[in-house]
Structure 1
Amino acid sequence: MQNQSIHSISISIDFVHAAISKLTLSQQQIDHILQQCRISTALLDHHQARVTLRQYAELITALTVATRDELLGHSQTISPLGSLAVLMHWLISSKDMHQALQRMTQYYQMIGKGFDISLQIKDDKICAELIGGFQPYQEPDAFIFEFGFFFIHRILCWLSRDILPIRAIDFPFTEPSYASDYRLMFYGTPIRFGQASAQMIFDRHCLNLSVNQSMQSLQHLLSDPFTQLLILNFQDRSWSAKVAECLQNAEGFQFDQIKVNQKINHEMNQAMHPMATLDQVATYLKLAPYTLQRRLQDEGQSFLAIKNQVKRDRAIELLVSSRMSIEQISLQLGFAETSPFTRSFKQWTGVAPSAYRKHKNS
């Protein structure tokens, strides 16, 4: 079975709002970039709407190139194109993750681009604190902290070729409406909001992991660094991720992307492809169904919720990336008719499936 595809994970449209909130580009330029990334501008008016992580990655890359600012206007001064490349060339020669974090700290202290990283060792843990330029009693810029922590963690994961477990993350802003998406982006890490500081906490022993990348792999990464780091995918060990992986890759739920771009066989799409059941997934994972349910509950999840998330994210991916009709997509996802699929999709995203096709006509 393949690893869970992170390309099809969807995240809140609020991440898009944050990314474009401080741009110096004209509205026409922003709309053009959104269209290039297959994001309908109509979705910006619906707070429940979602985009795939790949769309978001493409958007960040396109905005960075257009603005020539790697922090998209969220820092005190522009972070010019190539800043990340310079940092990565320094990090690649680190001996382990601890040294890599120390070098990140020194790098941002030297360039002074709106925030610093401060490292504190406390017994068996290391706290990486992001220090932003916000004033007391003023709501801090959520983008700079969520984006900063996301890239710090992704860079460490890339360097080690593994998912570094995070013990906890503290954010200094109030809990946003899309807070549940942090579970996807940070692999189920416990997160607290409204804290006095912004910090990411690691177990100290995890930072002893060696750097397992080369200059050759770095050159590949730097060909499109923001996209590759955002959609970086290593095996997630959580039970929620294992269940999602089973549901995504189960027989009858796989989809050949090549066929999307060719003429789709009509008969193939007439048969419904129901997703795997709890019993089937539990059997594959060599667990009793009640044991799997309990382990998912311990992670704050349920089998039905994961199943709906996988259907939702797969539907968004197919609506954005394929030529399949809405009827064909509903059948592909196991719905007997289009109408129940449309109702479910509206519950998941707040808009009809057709809204995700409007970018083609923008």
Structure 2
Amino acid sequence: MEKGSVSVYFVQSALDSLRVRGIDAEALLLDAGIAPATVQSPHGRVTPESFSKLWLAVAAALDDELFGQDSRRMKVGSFAMLAYMLTDCATLGDALKRMARFFNLLLDDFHCALEVQGSEALLTIRPAGQHDAPRVFGFETLLMLQHGLACWLVGRRIPVLAAAFCYAEAPRSAEYHRMYSENLRFGEGATALHFSRALLELPVIRSQQDARAFVRKAPGNIVIKYKNTDGLAAQIRRRLRASSAADWAGFDDVAAQLKMTPATLRRRLDDEGQTFQLIKDQLRRDMAVDLLSHSTRSVADIAVQLGFAEPSAFHRAFKKWTGANPGQYRLQGTGQG
């Protein structure tokens, strides 16, 4: 599986749940190996492992796996119980109906449902409480959990035909393309994932023993493993990842490999909110985060591997991406910062 990274936006949203309750978040950040400077950067990234540690720590501090987004707490252990319960279902459709009932029993401010419209099935979440504005992080967290569980139950990614959101588009929506689909709609009546109705007949292949292993690795495995891999940007990313950065093909060559004209490729990428340069920058960023976190290679060697002519250029780029320089990021990740 390709390594990835998680936007600092999700880290900030989780920490906001602590701050509004007067709980100091710095110790949890340090324990998760996340540099405070990274959290302050609008473009910061963290590893899935660090995000998982922080997610679990915040949930434990609040005793709430939905981070205070609902009037009632989703107590720690709820997600694990749900995973165990769903392994008894025969098909994906049965599991999604049971999952919706489970969340509707626990929560007051969100209403979950499985709906069918013609050839499509919809996993929907609607606001149910009396709030002036949608609790965006609550919708994001619920959608992430439900889609990740559904994919895990059948042992494959469920391709999302379209994703709708009951709130206005925000800058972080760029993350949604990789998480769900290139077809996004905002300001809709419900937050929903559209997928093929035929997939409801897929058999559930997981056991309770599988569930124990799955829960231990959540939520990092949900955020990264089942991201959208069907979009054009994802295809280009895989092609680039297959070779060293120094040997990456140019834009015109990639267009030829995909049997498109450069103009068509540029237009198709624009439809996904991407550019060729942005794809390369994001891939270098994720490779850098992974190498600094999981290898002992020197910063200079990593700079060369990622195609930077000088270590200083890598330092500048990495600080722009994450808010910390490479050395600081590595030390923080090992608990020495």
Q: TM-score, normalised to structure 2's length?
A: 0.85
Aligned equivalents of 2:48, 2:177: Cα separation in 1: 13
- Asked if residue 291 in structure 1 is aligned to residue 291 in structure 2, the reply is no
CA distance in structure 2 between the aligned counterparts of 1:220 and 1:350, rounded to whole angstroms: 33
1:50 aligns with 2:49: no
The match for 1:87 among 82, 87, 110 is 82
Q: The residue matched to 1:21 in structure 2 has which SS?
A: helix
Rounded to whole Å, the distance in 2 between the matches of 1:33 and 1:247 is 35
Q: Which runs of 5 or more residues in structure 1 are unaligned?
A: 254-272
1:45 positional shift: 2.3
Change (3 A) 1:290 1:213: same
The 8 Å contact of residues 279 and 289 in structure 1, kept in 2 or not, is answered as no
Residues 1:306 and 2:299 aligned together? no
Distance in structure 2 (CA, Å) of the matches to 1:302 and 1:227: 27
Q: What is the CA-CA distance between 1:69 and the residue it aligns to?
A: 1.6
1:225 aligns with 2:218: yes
**Matched letter for residue 39 of structure 1:** I
Comparing 148-157 and 169-178, the one that deviates more:
169-178
Q: Structure 2 counterpart of 1:172, which letter?
A: C
Change (3 A) 1:234 1:184: closer
Q: 1:144 Cα deviation (Å)?
A: 0.8
Q: 1:34 aligns with which of 29, 34, 38?
A: 29
The CA deviation at 1:281 is 8.3
**Quick one: distance in 2 between partners of 1:292 and 1:92?**
47
> Cα deviations across residues 323-349 of structure 1 (Å, max 9, x unaligned)?
444323212211121222233334544
Whole-Å separation in 2 of the counterparts to 1:281 and 1:210: 41
Counterparts of 2:161 and 2:65, CA distance in 1: 28
**How many Å separate the matches in 1 of 2:161 and 2:258?**
28
> In structure 2, what is the Cα distance between the partners aligned to 1:358 and 1:175?
36
> Equivalent residue for 2:139?
145
Instruction: Check conservation: 1:167, 1:203, Cα contact below 8 A.
Output: yes
| Residue identity opposite 2:189 in structure 1 | A
1:14 corresponds to 2:41: no
Q: Give the aligned residue type for 1:344.
A: A
Tell me the residue number matched to 2:152: 158
Matches of 1:295 and 1:96 in 2, distance apart? 39
How much has 1:105 moved relative to structure 2? Answer: 1.6
On the 8 A contact 2:246/2:307 being kept in 1, the answer is yes
Q: TM-score, normalised by structure 1?
A: 0.80
Task: Count residues with an aligned counterpart.
Answer: 330
Judged with a 3 Å threshold, the aligned counterparts in structure 2 of structure 1 residues 292 and 203 are, in CA distance, closer, same or farther, namely farther
CA distance in 1, matches of 2:7, 2:145: 18
Tell me how far 1:204 sits from its aligned partner: 1.3
Query: Aligned pair in 2 of structure 1 residues 307, 67: CA closer, same or farther (>3 Å)?
Result: same
Q: Distance between the aligned counterparts of 2:170 and 2:153, measured in 1?
A: 30
Deviation at 1:155, TM superposition (A): 0.7
Structure 1: which amino acid aligns with 2:164? D
Alignment match of 2:202 (pick from 209, 215, 222) = 209
- The answer (yes or no) to whether the contact 2:43–2:322 under 8 Å persists in 1 is yes
1:99-151 deviation per Cα after TM superposition (whole angstroms, max 9, x unaligned)? 11111122122233542202332222222221234546x22111111111111
Once residues 218 and 147 of structure 1 are traced to their aligned partners in structure 2, the CA distance between those partners, rounded to angstroms, is 19
1:247 partnered with 2:240: yes
Per-residue CA deviations over 1:303-340 (Å, capped at 9, x if unaligned) read: 43322211011122333444444323212211121222
Measured at CA, do residues 346 and 58 of structure 1 come closer, stay the same or move farther in structure 2, by a change above 3 Å?
Answer: same
Distance 1:111 1:343, change over 3 A: closer
- List per-residue Cα deviations over 1:73-107 (Å, max 9, x = no partner): 21211111221122122211222211111111221
Give me the whole-angstrom Cα distance separating, in 2, the residues matched to 1:95 and 1:53. 31
Following superposition of structure 1 onto structure 2, how do residues 126-137 of structure 1 map, counting pairs within 5 Å? 126-135=121-130
Taking the aligned partners of 1:67 and 1:348, their CA distance within structure 2 comes to: 30
**Cross-structure match for 2:170:** 176
Structure 2 vs 1, CA of residues 117 and 245 (structure 1 numbering), >3 Å: closer, same or farther? same
Over 3 Å counting, the alpha-carbon distance change for 1:34 and 1:111 in structure 2 is: same
**Is the contact made by 1:158 and 1:232 (CA closer than 8 Å) also made in structure 2?**
no
After superposition, the C-alpha distances for 1:158-181 in whole angstroms (9 at most, x for unaligned) are 011111111222212222221111
